[in-house]
Amino acid sequence: MENKPGGSGLEQMTKEAQNVNNPHFFPDGHNLAAASQSSTMIFDFAKPLEQRLVRTLPTIPGTNHRFVVTDIAPDDQLLIGVDIHPGGSADGIYTYSMNTNEFTNIVDYGTSPIWIDGMNKVLFFHKGKILLLRRRDNSVKELDASLHVDTDIFHVLSADKRTFCYIKVESESDVWQATME
């Protein structure tokens, strides 16, 4: 089949002043959280673009750090994500309640948290390790020491939480010198 440059069936869904990235759908299927360069925004795609009110989440209390959402609990209310330092580094994992507008720091390290078993457990990544936090007692265990995951790469868990899909990066870089005569 002939490829159509740019694809067809493309529809612009947001028009914001800032760049928008890192989208995550709510389980309700029409709300979507996405990061901007200063905060996280929530869009309701059930409403037309012109009528849509965008909800902007606050920064982490007492800081100018962004809360970047990485997953949303099945109840559509409890967001989980990472505290992002202005320099870009991650500074711990937080939850954010859509009901109470409160942040809760659940662990001081790690990236890319994903809800498991409802909201009972959190799968997350830290320094190449895959960790699991049980919210009941806040205990953390490493899941598979042999599965080294680069936290800079991308991964996703299927909707039924039974397939872990990820990207493995192989890279090689050498230093060269070009002499101009």
Partner 1 sequence: MIGQTISHYKILEKLGEGGMGVVYKAEDTDLKRIVALKFLPLQNNLSQQDNDRFLREAQTAAVLNHPNVCTIYSIEKDESSGEKRQFIVMEYIEGMTLREKLAEGPLSLDTASQYAIQIGEALHEAHSKNIIHRDIKADNVMVTAKNKIKVMDFGLAKLKGSLKLTRTSSTVGTLAYMAPEQINGGEVDSRSDIFSFGVLFYEMLTGKMPFRGEHQAAMVYSIVNEPAEPITKYLPDASEELSKIFEKALEKNPDERYQTAIDMAVDIRRLKKQTSKITSIRSIQNDASGFQPVPASSAVHDRQSLARTMLWNSPRILQIALAVLVLVVVSLLFFGRNGNVPIRITVSQVTDTPGEELYPDISPDGNYIAFTRDIGEEQDIFLQRIGGGNPINLTKDSHSKNNYAAFSPNGDQIAFCSDRDGGGIYLMGATGESVRRLTKTGYNPAWSPDGKKIAYATEGITIAQARTTFSQLWSVSVQDGSTMLIDSGDAVQPRWSPHGNRIVYWGLPRGSGWRDLWSVDSDGKNKVRLTNDPAIDWNPVWSPDGHYIYFLSDRSGSMNVWRMAVDEKSGEAQSEMEQVTVPASNCSWLAISHDGKKLIYSSLERRANIFKMGFDPVNEKFIKPEIQITTGSKTYSWLDISPDGTKIATTSSGVQEDVYVMNSDGTNIRRLTNDKPKDRGVRWSHDGTAVYSYSDRSGKYELWKINLEEAGSSR
Site for partner 1 in 78-107 (CB under 8 A): 84, 86-89
Site for partner 1 in 27-46 (CB under 8 A): 29, 32, 34, 37-38, 43
Q: Check binding of 12 to partner 1 (CB under 8 A).
A: yes
- Residues contacting 91, CB < 8 A, separation 6+: 65, 82, 83, 84, 85, 108
Q: Which stretch, 22-30, 51-59, 72-80, 102-110, contacts partner 1 (CB under 8 A)?
A: 22-30
Q: Check binding of 62 to partner 1 (CB under 8 A).
A: no
- DSSP state, 151? T
Q: In the bound complex, what is the minimum distance in angstroms from residue 54's beta carbon to partner 1?
A: 11
Q: Check binding of 53 to partner 1 (CB under 8 A).
A: no
Residue with Cβ nearer partner 1 (58 or 128): 128
- DSSP state, 101? -
On whether the CB atoms of residues 62 and 103 are closer than 8 A, the answer is no
Residue with Cβ nearer partner 1 (77 or 157): 157
Backbone conformation region of residue 28, classed left if phi is above 0, alpha if psi is from -120 to 50, else beta: alpha
Strands 103-107 and 111-116: unpaired
Q: Check binding of 73 to partner 1 (CB under 8 A).
A: no
Enter the tokens of residue 146: 């042999």
Site for partner 1 in 121-180 (CB under 8 A): 121, 127-128, 130, 132, 141, 143-144, 147, 153-180
SS3 call for 128: coil
